[in-house]
Amino acid sequence: MGIRIGWLVGLLALLMVAGAEARTVQVLALFGDQAVVRVDGKRHRLRVGEARDGVRLLAVLPAGARLEIDGEVREVRLGDVARRIGGKARAAKRGEAAEVVIWRDSAGMYRTAGSINGMPVGFLVDTGATWVAISAQEARRLGIDYRVEGEPGSAVTASGISRAYMVTLDRVTVGGLTLRNVKAAVLPGNLPHIPLLGMSFLGRLHMENDGRSLRLRKKY
């Protein structure tokens, strides 16, 4: 009986190790709004918005693709491999700072996918913006009642001084980085067209910019 139980325990441990084996996602080729990816050895040609085997193509970048891998947004360069363990994108080890890499696009901008209060958004990184900035139109889509929850104020924009409502976002996520209680400015109308990822988020992280990519890491 003792030998049989020991054999069963050993078999269970072996199955658990096999289940945790690292799996991979690789970007093989880019074609306009499509990308060819290899997911755990299987090749798929995806259009933006399509998903296969837990991987969704969010955007085609100049040098890679923005993918949602089992619910986590990752930017993977052409030819690079993103590893995931047990069906989840691999998280940082305990005590290790999670890192997000945002690649500069053909227009010289840093754009990335993320979320505000759990709702998906696209961000334009703007180190010159004091706060995360979103339009009133986007705030309504995100369910932010800025007129009730916000504090009236003003903000300096490219067009001059504009009315604004200051709000606190419950959580802002970019890649594997999530910060809570992030200050934001809601501007009237539909500008900015893309939410600006300003210093109320970026200032709470370590930033490294080598001219081609922007690396963000949590401060510990």
Mean pLDDT of 53-71: 84
- What dihedral do alpha carbons 134, 139, 145, 151 form, nearest 10°? 10
pLDDT of residue 5: 44
Cβ-Cβ contacts under 8 Å for 15 (sequence gap 6 or more)? none
Which pTM value belongs to this model? 0.59
Q: Is residue 150 domain-resident?
A: yes
Boundaries of domain holding 56: 21-91
What pLDDT is attached to residue 117?
A: 92
In a domain, residue 127? The reply is: yes
Q: Tokens 């890649």 sit at which residue?
A: 175
Residue 2 lies in a domain: no
Please name the helix (run of DSSP H) or strand (run of DSSP E) that holds residue 124, with its range, or none: strand 119-125
60: CATH: 2.30.30.830
Helix (H, G, I), strand (E, B) or coil at 116: strand
The residue written with tokens 């030819």 in the block is 79
State yes or no: pLDDT of 186 exceeds 60: yes
pLDDT tens-digit map of 94-111:
444 468 889 888 889 999
Question: Largest alpha-carbon pair distance within the chain?
Answer: 81
Structure confidence by residue, pLDDT tens digits, 12-58: 333 333 344 446 888 888 888 888 898 888 889 999 888 888 898 98
> Which DSSP letter does residue 90 get?
P
For 3, residues 6+ apart whose C-beta sits below 8 A from its C-beta are: none
Q: Note whether residue 97 is domain-resident.
A: no
pLDDT at 88 over 60: no
Percent of the chain with pLDDT strictly greater than 70: 80
DSSP three-state, residue 14? helix
213 shares its domain with 120: yes
SS (H, E, C) 97-111: CCEEEEEECCCCCEE
Say yes or no: 152 and 72 in one domain. Answer: no
* H or E stretch covering 12: helix 2-19
Q: Give the count of domains, the chain.
A: 2
CATH for 129: 2.40.70.10
